[in-house]
Structure 1
Amino acid sequence: MRRIYFVFLLLFLACCGFAQAQQRVSGRVVSQSDKQGLPGVNVVVKGTQTGTSTDANGQFSLTVNEGAVLQFSMIGMQTQEVPVGTQTTINVELADDAQALEEVVVVGYGTQRRRDLTGAIAQLKGEEIQRYPVQTPTQALQSKLSGVQVIASGRPNEQPQIRVRGVGSALAGVSPLYVVDGVLTDDIRNISNNDILSIEVLKDASAAIYGVRAANGVVIVTTKRGKSGTTQVQYDANFGLRQPANLVRMANRDQYISYLTDAAPNQNVNNPPLTYEGTTDWYGEALRNGFQSNNNVSVSGGGERNTFFFSAGYFTDQGVVKTNDFQRLTIRANNEIQIGPKVTFSNQLSFSRGNERGVDLGIYQNLYRAAPIVQARVGDRFGNTSAFGNVGNALLSLDARNQRIINDRVQGNLALEYRPAEWLTLRSAFNTDLIFNRDRTYNRAFRNDAVTFISAGGNQQQINSSLALNEGRSLRYIIDNTATVNRTFGRSNFTFLLGSVTERFNSSFISGSRINIPNDPNQWYLGLGDPNLQLSNNAGGDLQTRQSFVTRATFSLADKYLFNASLRADGSSKFSERWGYFPTIGAGWVISEEAFMQDQSLLDFLKFRASWGILGNDVIASNAYLLTAAVNIPYFFNNTLSLGSAIQDIKDQQLKWERTEQFDVGLEFTLLNNRLSGELDYYNKTTRNALAFQIIPAIFGDPDNQYLTNIASFRNRGLELVLNWRETMTNGFGYSLGGNMTINRNQLVGLNGGQALLAGGVGQQGFVTRTDNGQPVGSFYVLNAIGVFQSQSEIDGAPVFGNRASVRPGDLRYEDVNGDGTITADDRIYTGSYQPKLYYGINLGLNYLGFDLTADVYGNAGNKVYNGKRAFRFENTDNIEAAYADARWTATRPSTTDPRVITSATPASTYFVESGSFVRLNNLTLGYTLPATLMQKARFRTARIYLTAQNLFTIQQFSGFSPELPGGPLDAGIELNSYPTVRTFAVGLNVGF
């Protein structure tokens, strides 16, 4: 802790300045490849603006302070740092900046140089992920990678949704597979951002190496390992405040009473025991500013035959909803030991504990609908909101409910690697993911005492306390055995992989509940409840197994002709068709290596690549194809009532996994001395044998008159573009500007006689989305609102919805699409979906004299969202939004767009469909790194402080909280009970010893 204080003292001293001994340093900078002098190389004293440039022969001379570190940089060359020490002559060789091309990228069961890739693989380094004050690393991917859409929520411990190149299914899984150090999983909330070395996203057919689980893309997470050398200690921390962002302003007292005049003229709003003269801000009463912190410390190092990396982290998020909070502890140990000259043992092991007090999202409907003329709370008593709208008092709901979720997780692997020859590697690994989950919810009893303020909320009461307990565990283990041959012949390289993968997953849960539990946390046990009044128990489990065989061959000829092919055979317990085969092929041509490209100076690197492959999706219920029998069914036999069993539903016993065929062509380039780099991709991704419901005659006895089978096809076609510019000026000023964009078109191209899929229920309006031929998945399917009736004569001459006698001037008018003279469900139209046609990210970076500034912008366009909270109305006395109160139709202020009232009889229509386009300043960070001289004196290896802000502002057309609305493929984009988006302000510290 003393060292942390010392950092701030040193910052102060750095601003004041102090005298130091100086010395003259000179030397020459040459190219590592041809040993020729390099003119124009920037030679800067790190952390200062003191510097010079080399002359025509690469010579330089400079006066520096004692203990200075010289930084040599030049466009197209790798930057190099040299401590001066007592040296007076320093000669430096700079290597060509092919670092980005020579970087090793994880591709699944192995690695490749980036320049050798034939597939579309996006990468994000761990140091970029650490810049964001977010709980899960997936949220840090937002705005960074083309083809990767990240839909985040402000809710603590909520996993952001990732969609890789669109939605390719309706009823099976649509989330990518996560692979953490070889462990296959569906959730990476247990990983500290500070432990991550890199994240790779396999976007195209290269993901076929993971077979039946790869159709939605693969996210590979690699954690840090130690390096041989001096032991290093790293401490990273940030502390911040999270606040609700972009809250919807609700009607005040006067606006609400004015609305009731039209919506509920018989409602008594002057009942002193129930109302008061002010306006209650229900969101202000239930929400707060929450504190967040993240502390992480790591120790790493090693000797000649071993390396180690240990870390521990503690993350807290108080949540912006009162009573909501989350804490997470993470511990990691990654070690490698060379047992002998040819045998290496390694492990990557982690433990995490999540501790969350949950919140029921249903309170948001009550907050939105509650009357503003009722006080929220006075002392320990709560206002009677049910007198105006029959909704519960959300504060009472929060106060009476205590949910605690504990999640313990052990994840990692043990691996043994044997290299009998330099070109052959044999590897066996045991990977495991063990989860224990405990969810306990206690609801205390409360009653209505029918006075001005009530301990309950009118109709809101709970006569008996209750306790519900759910406990579950799951164990996944994967055994990998691989043999890898790697041979190099001059500038050519050949790699061949052969392996087997065995996977088993089993889970079980048990739950129970009882009432009349004492209102004492120390007595919250099921055994202390009243078993004579209520007792419920439930239990279940699941078992899944997979056996796979995988092979891959890659060949690089003369560093310019690239070939890749793989085949995975998967057997899964989820299907009667036990085996599936998933091939992929890819080819690349490094055009810049050709002789005809050597005389030009514009392009530094140019590569064309193409890939094709088939991927699978088996994310369905384990018993989807198995016939199951209902038991204890009464029937008569020989005039005697007996109990028996019977199969009551129909299942397709020949279910297959969904198969996605993907074709990709891409162009990668760098030019202008490696200052500008970019990537352009076109992809065509078609899913066949997709799951949908087939209608069957009722005579067959299925209660739903339908069964699940493989009869649909989906297609995603798109274009991705990435551009990055990076430059360092002679005065030490450096900047970078990058951007990426993705254009995607999603369509259901063949339902083959199946039943269109309805979803997205919004209260009394029913389903508002429909997935059918020729439309995107989850398209909004509603009536077309074409204006507002202005007079009775307009009503008399137009088709109307429902009873004509109940339609009044100021009501919405709908289009008679089928021309039958009346408005019915048959007049509904498709009006877009939540899936954006374009999403993009813009990233800016500046650095000068130890200061660094980064800004990230994220947005999407061309999608729609449904304002479900505005549409969801069961009582005419529900509150309304202030904007609607000012814009709605009245006799003295006619409107052509907004109706006079929105009631429980208002049907789903385009009136509630709004634009989902937005652009957001996702992150803004200002940091300062101490000068090298100060760090040396303080014995710091690194020292940086920073200020950061997340979600500073959003420009949106949607009138709701946020157009970023997570959901399933069929019902995404509907705002009903969304957790508020949050804005974060934080200060952080990175210190290394």
Structure 2
Amino acid sequence: MKKLGYVFMLVWLATLGTTYAQNQSVTGKVVSKNDQQGLPGVSVVVKGTTTGSTTDANGAYQISVPSGAVLQFSMIGMTSQEIPVGNQSTINVELTDDTKALEEVVVVGYGTQRRRDLTGAVAQVKGEEIVKYPVQTPTQGLQSKLAGVQIIASGRPNEQPQVRVRGVGSALAGVSPLYVVDGVLTDDIRNISNNDILSIEVLKDASAAIYGVRAANGVVIVTTKRGKKGPVQVQYDANVSLRQPAKLVQMANRDQYISYLADAAPNKNVNDTPLTYGGTTNWYDEALRSAPQSNQNLSVSGGGENNTFFFSVGYFTDQGIVKTNDFKRLTIRANNEINISKKLTFSNQLSFSRGNERAVDLGGVYPSLYRAAPIVPAVVDGKYGNLSAFGNVGNPLLSLDARNQQVLNNRLQGNLSLDYRPVEWLKLHSAFNTDLIFNRDQTYLRAFQNDANTFITAGGNQRQQNSQLSLTSGQSIRYIIDNTATVDRTFGENSFTFLLGSVTERFSSNFISGARINVPNDPSLWYLGLGDPNQQLSNNSGGDLQTRQSFVTRGTLSLKNRYLFNASLRADGSSKFQERWGYFPTAGVGWVISDEAFMKNQSLFNFLKFRGSWGILGNDAIESNAYILTAGVNIPYFYNNGLVLGTAIQDIKNQQLKWERTQQVDLGLEFAFLNNRLTGEIDYYNKTTRDALAFQIIPAIFGDPDNQYLTNIASFRNRGFEFVLNWKETTNSGLGYSIGGNLTLNKNQLVGLNGGQALLAGGVGQQGFTTRTDNGQPVGSFYLLKAIGIYQNQGEIDGSPVYGNRASVQPGDLKYEDVNGDGVINSDDRVYAGSYQPKLYYGINLALNFKGFDLAADVYGNAGNQVYNGKKAFRYENTDNVEAAYVSNRWTPTNASTTDPRLITSATPASTYFLESGSFVRLNNLTIGYTIPTGLRDRAKLRTARVYITSQNLFTAQKFSGFSPELPGGPLDSGIELSSYPVTRTFAVGLNVGF
């Protein structure tokens, strides 16, 4: 059927126009003279005719020409060339940058387009911008670069940054974008070396609808480097760096802590226990370190008339700032292209990565570092100070040293494809894409006891009676088969492109896990089979299967090179829903106003374009069995006066669940002034998610244990503006400089819960939930008691409502507002107090170059959001340590503070006292480099040679008293600092050498 479909399509296409006599076939590749990379979307036209073609994603083209023809090569942003054909059958072209041009070609879903022709909001960052940053993942290198894209990264090795495109569009489904790497659809790009990236495009608006049911949260398209025809080129890039915590919270020292204990634990006499000493232990200094990091990448590329290749090897190491943390990653990439004939091309983009991490348990270590008493020594005579015997937390150093977790990740990702051009204006493309992941997670807990033969002093409850080994092994296999046909015709100033294709996707995963005790301490003997066979702790396995079938079509039309039209439709079938098929259309228009006749005599605008788009996108990021009823087995019940075991359905599920649908409208204006030196964009967007998932309360008589079930009942909306402005110029003295900025204003709101249940989340120890998502509020809004001061005397207490038992309230305690006026302070008095989502975020980018020297600086920040100091609020023991600033400012009979209470205990409720501003501004990157002059490079036979020094997160101005206001998490519980890995500051030196 597929072959028959191609035949019918070819017959139909043949009626669209008359093909020219094929007197001579010419093929070749068009590359940028600057970096020798292939240029997609270059117009190749026979001079004096309308016969033309465009280059593909790799810069290759094919065209039939008459005798004596002259070929014209043109592209926005590059200087045009004319080349007589003569007897040549292969013509390779180098185009130079046109500094006066505004635009360039970008990669969009299943193809490329000139930026001039775009009707959607597509942002692009070149690979050379990303490699300036000494970071592990490509997404971290995008910080500050893109309007409408918020990126939150921690300092933890191998951590995937959190990416939000134009706000949070869901509560219970996924909120992360889809990643597309050389055609492979995936959820994670930590396996890619930054040095291998050619460009990254982000589809922010309805143009992402070409990816249908997975595009509601935006699409990030990653294109890796290809080889070029010509001599073999070798490139070596390396940097070494040192990372350290960017900011640490100053905890109370010995004297401050003891003075606090006098009120918090008056019966605790620190001088009567041998567990303490006369000094101060800085637990952060004991557990953290300055950590080395290195990144090395070697690539070899080249090619002949019929093939090109690109091969690279990268090795990345990061010890992490926690002393037992460590991460290593090896990446190997092979991208090849072979011209089997003048019409048939085979290509592959393959990568292998192997990550090996010794992980740390942040949930156990970081709260302990914060709460640990400073009067207990960390280690004495080889033994660990016993904090737990002191009535405090466990020793965090012992927790680190006694735990060895090794996470091994092997990943093979890539595609094999064939491109066939029966005529120059038709391209048939077939590709097999795959993403194979094999994981192994092994955790060994060393046995230790509190007697003379162990590493911990006597007493306390921190003990591991038996060694324990836990092992989980899993794998996932994703494959995607693409078949597309693309028609690309040019008729003078008019052109059109038509795409038709199908996409088949299958994802399967499985895991097996087990745990045993009394496994030997020797790492070479860490096998489950060597543990106690009579003490098996767990044994489990599971898996998942997802399938999708999609059909895509898209048409673009450019009339007179200034009237632009774009429309697409994707039909998605997904195994995740009973509703099998969904349809996701998009439409866009554009008008290049500056090319109109009435604009020819004006001198204000060099370029002016209006564009608008509309579309519907989907989100199926939920569990595969969310709509499938499951039965519990071996359930005891009484039957015939006896107890028997049976099977029963124990939950209620909506079998009519469907995907969330996001409708987005975008209006944009692109412009250039002053001989294209000043360029910019302004966008307005309105993104509304309907049929969003939420819980609805059901009567208990139905038997569901939670009295609720998941259904499509909510609506969310993100509305905002994006502003981009860039200035670029080279002065007569040779100084080149550019300065640019972007600003995003976003308002997030739950606009309709429609009878659904408000979503509570953000648990903070004994305080319970801290966020509530309900009608009229942003997702994950903080919902807290309103702290309005400190009780200064008993008279204030007697004359106002109090929280809890009145007899236990004392002067110096927090005072709360009786919001509903009922004379009682309880959970009914909670108020919405802001959200972790910023009202605006921005980036500023500066670059200078002069006589071989270059400087780059990036600033990143946000404003208008709130964060919750959960670590300060989390209190279980009165002997927990406190922050130095709190001890200095807290209320005492001699210090009538109006801001800080006398004590923070396990009875202190969640309130605005712990809520702080999340606004910050950061010098995100500062780089100074020097390129060796051409003469010296020629003598050393070097193609390129540059040395540089760089820093990441050099300086941050923040109002938050914690580690960092950038606090990743889920859509309902972000912005809460409990056990977050501190953001790190990095200093690096690097080298770029090309042969």
Residue matched to 1:869: 871
Indicate conservation of the 8 Å contact 1:655/1:710, yes or no: yes
Indicate conservation of the 8 Å contact 1:298/1:311, yes or no: yes
- Deviations 1:767-826 (CA, angstroms, capped at 9, x unpaired): 000000000000000000000000000000010000001101000000000000110000
After TM superposition, give the deviation of residue 97 of structure 1 in Å. Answer: 3.7
- Deviations 1:67-110 (CA, angstroms, capped at 9, x unpaired): xxxxxxxxx99699xxxxxxxxxxx9998546542x22111100
1:462 equivalent among 461, 464, 485: 464
Indicate conservation of the 8 Å contact 1:676/1:726, yes or no: yes
User: In structure 1, what is the Cα distance between the partners aligned to 2:810 and 2:864?
Assistant: 35
Indicate conservation of the 8 Å contact 2:922/2:955, yes or no: yes
User: In structure 2, what is the Cα distance between the partners aligned to 1:428 and 1:847?
Assistant: 44
Indicate conservation of the 8 Å contact 2:448/2:454, yes or no: no
Residue matched to 2:190: 189
Change in Cα spacing, 1:889 to 1:497, as seen in structure 2 (3 Å) is same
After TM superposition, give the deviation of residue 442 of structure 1 in Å. Answer: 0.2
- Deviations 1:507-531 (CA, angstroms, capped at 9, x unpaired): 0000000000101001000000001
Residue matched to 1:67: none
Indicate conservation of the 8 Å contact 1:237/1:294, yes or no: yes
Indicate conservation of the 8 Å contact 1:385/1:457, yes or no: no
Indicate conservation of the 8 Å contact 1:234/1:297, yes or no: yes
User: In structure 2, what is the Cα distance between the partners aligned to 1:96 and 1:803?
Assistant: 75
Q: What amino acid is the match of 2:326?
A: D
- Deviations 1:697-722 (CA, angstroms, capped at 9, x unpaired): 11110000000000000000000000
- Deviations 1:634-661 (CA, angstroms, capped at 9, x unpaired): 2233334322110000000000100000
Residue matched to 2:798: 796
Residue matched to 1:149: 150
Change in Cα spacing, 1:95 to 1:748, as seen in structure 2 (3 Å) is closer
User: In structure 2, what is the Cα distance between the partners aligned to 1:456 and 1:950?
Assistant: 45
After TM superposition, give the deviation of residue 450 of structure 1 in Å. Answer: 8.0
1:588 equivalent among 590, 607, 622: 590
User: In structure 1, what is the Cα distance between the partners aligned to 2:80 and 2:159?
Assistant: 40
User: In structure 2, what is the Cα distance between the partners aligned to 1:451 and 1:313?
Assistant: 46
1:751 equivalent among 753, 758, 765: 753
After TM superposition, give the deviation of residue 677 of structure 1 in Å. Answer: 0.5
Residue 328 of structure 1 pairs with residue 364 of structure 2: no
Residue matched to 1:342: 343
Residue 597 of structure 1 pairs with residue 599 of structure 2: yes
Equivalences for residues 743-782 of structure 1 within 5 A? 743-782=745-784
Q: What amino acid is the match of 1:576?
A: Q
User: In structure 2, what is the Cα distance between the partners aligned to 1:424 and 1:447?
Assistant: 74
After TM superposition, give the deviation of residue 376 of structure 1 in Å. Answer: 0.5
User: In structure 1, what is the Cα distance between the partners aligned to 2:413 and 2:98?
Assistant: 40
Q: What amino acid is the match of 1:960?
A: G
After TM superposition, give the deviation of residue 387 of structure 1 in Å. Answer: 3.4
Secondary structure of 1:283's partner? Answer: helix
User: In structure 1, what is the Cα distance between the partners aligned to 2:530 and 2:641?
Assistant: 45
Query: How many residues of Structure 1 are paired with residues of Structure 2 in the alignment?
Result: 907
1:444 equivalent among 422, 443, 446: 446
Residue 312 of structure 1 pairs with residue 307 of structure 2: no
Residue matched to 1:13: none
Secondary structure of 1:138's partner? Answer: helix
Residue 701 of structure 1 pairs with residue 703 of structure 2: yes
Residue matched to 2:219: 218
User: In structure 1, what is the Cα distance between the partners aligned to 2:197 and 2:941?
Assistant: 26
User: In structure 2, what is the Cα distance between the partners aligned to 1:77 and 1:168?
Assistant: 39
Unpaired segments ≥5 residues, structure 1: 1-75, 81-91
Unpaired segments ≥5 residues, structure 2: 1-76, 82-93
Residue matched to 1:26: none
Q: What amino acid is the match of 1:252?
A: N
Residue matched to 2:281: 280
2:379 equivalent among 373, 377, 380: 377
Indicate conservation of the 8 Å contact 1:388/1:878, yes or no: no
Indicate conservation of the 8 Å contact 2:789/2:816, yes or no: yes
User: In structure 2, what is the Cα distance between the partners aligned to 1:635 and 1:771?
Assistant: 39
After TM superposition, give the deviation of residue 274 of structure 1 in Å. Answer: 1.1
Secondary structure of 2:812's partner? Answer: coil
After TM superposition, give the deviation of residue 558 of structure 1 in Å. Answer: 1.1
After TM superposition, give the deviation of residue 277 of structure 1 in Å. Answer: 0.6
Indicate conservation of the 8 Å contact 1:286/1:322, yes or no: yes
Secondary structure of 1:385's partner? Answer: coil
- Deviations 1:448-468 (CA, angstroms, capped at 9, x unpaired): 128998358721001000000
Structure 1: 4+ residue segments shifted above 4 A: 76-80, 92-96, 450-453
Secondary structure of 1:386's partner? Answer: coil
Q: What amino acid is the match of 2:479?
A: Y
Residue matched to 1:266: 267
Residue matched to 1:43: none
Residue matched to 2:108: 107
After TM superposition, give the deviation of residue 374 of structure 1 in Å. Answer: 0.3
Indicate conservation of the 8 Å contact 1:383/1:452, yes or no: no
Residue matched to 1:530: 532
Equivalences for residues 869-888 of structure 1 within 5 A? 869-888=871-890
Residue matched to 1:140: 141
User: In structure 2, what is the Cα distance between the partners aligned to 1:481 and 1:775?
Assistant: 44
- Deviations 1:860-892 (CA, angstroms, capped at 9, x unpaired): 000000000000000111100011111101111
Q: What amino acid is the match of 2:247?
A: N
Secondary structure of 2:629's partner? Answer: coil
Q: What amino acid is the match of 1:175?
A: S
After TM superposition, give the deviation of residue 388 of structure 1 in Å. Answer: 3.7
1:648 equivalent among 647, 650, 655: 650
Residue 366 of structure 1 pairs with residue 364 of structure 2: no
Secondary structure of 2:211's partner? Answer: helix
User: In structure 2, what is the Cα distance between the partners aligned to 1:289 and 1:502?
Assistant: 47
- Deviations 1:705-750 (CA, angstroms, capped at 9, x unpaired): 0000000000000000000001111111111100000000000000
User: In structure 2, what is the Cα distance between the partners aligned to 1:95 and 1:208?
Assistant: 32
Change in Cα spacing, 1:357 to 1:457, as seen in structure 2 (3 Å) is farther
User: In structure 1, what is the Cα distance between the partners aligned to 2:145 and 2:458?
Assistant: 48
Secondary structure of 1:454's partner? Answer: coil
Q: Calculate the aligned-residue CA RMSD, in Å.
A: 1.6
TM-score (norm 1): 0.90
Equivalences for residues 247-646 of structure 1 within 5 A? 247-361=248-362, 362-449=364-451, 454-455=456-457, 458-646=460-648
Residue 828 of structure 1 pairs with residue 830 of structure 2: yes
User: In structure 2, what is the Cα distance between the partners aligned to 1:553 and 1:541?
Assistant: 39
Indicate conservation of the 8 Å contact 1:450/1:458, yes or no: no
User: In structure 1, what is the Cα distance between the partners aligned to 2:533 and 2:870?
Assistant: 40
User: In structure 1, what is the Cα distance between the partners aligned to 2:992 and 2:973?
Assistant: 42
Q: What amino acid is the match of 1:957?
A: K
Change in Cα spacing, 1:861 to 1:353, as seen in structure 2 (3 Å) is same
User: In structure 1, what is the Cα distance between the partners aligned to 2:499 and 2:97?
Assistant: 32
Residue matched to 2:901: 899
Residue matched to 1:164: 165
Residue matched to 1:5: none
Change in Cα spacing, 1:761 to 1:456, as seen in structure 2 (3 Å) is farther
Q: What amino acid is the match of 2:793?
A: S
- Deviations 1:320-373 (CA, angstroms, capped at 9, x unpaired): 001101000000000000001100000000000000000000211110001000
Change in Cα spacing, 1:477 to 1:639, as seen in structure 2 (3 Å) is same
After TM superposition, give the deviation of residue 268 of structure 1 in Å. Answer: 1.5
Q: What amino acid is the match of 1:552?
A: R
User: In structure 2, what is the Cα distance between the partners aligned to 1:906 and 1:536?
Assistant: 38
User: In structure 2, what is the Cα distance between the partners aligned to 1:791 and 1:295?
Assistant: 64
Indicate conservation of the 8 Å contact 2:78/2:101, yes or no: no
After TM superposition, give the deviation of residue 230 of structure 1 in Å. Answer: 1.2
1:979 equivalent among 978, 981, 984: 981
Indicate conservation of the 8 Å contact 1:592/1:607, yes or no: yes
- Deviations 1:181-234 (CA, angstroms, capped at 9, x unpaired): 000000000000000000000000000000000000000000000011111100
1:808 equivalent among 810, 813, 822: 810
User: In structure 1, what is the Cα distance between the partners aligned to 2:453 and 2:516?
Assistant: 31
User: In structure 1, what is the Cα distance between the partners aligned to 2:189 and 2:902?
Assistant: 48
After TM superposition, give the deviation of residue 623 of structure 1 in Å. Answer: 0.1
Residue matched to 2:32: none
User: In structure 2, what is the Cα distance between the partners aligned to 1:270 and 1:662?
Assistant: 66
Indicate conservation of the 8 Å contact 2:452/2:458, yes or no: no
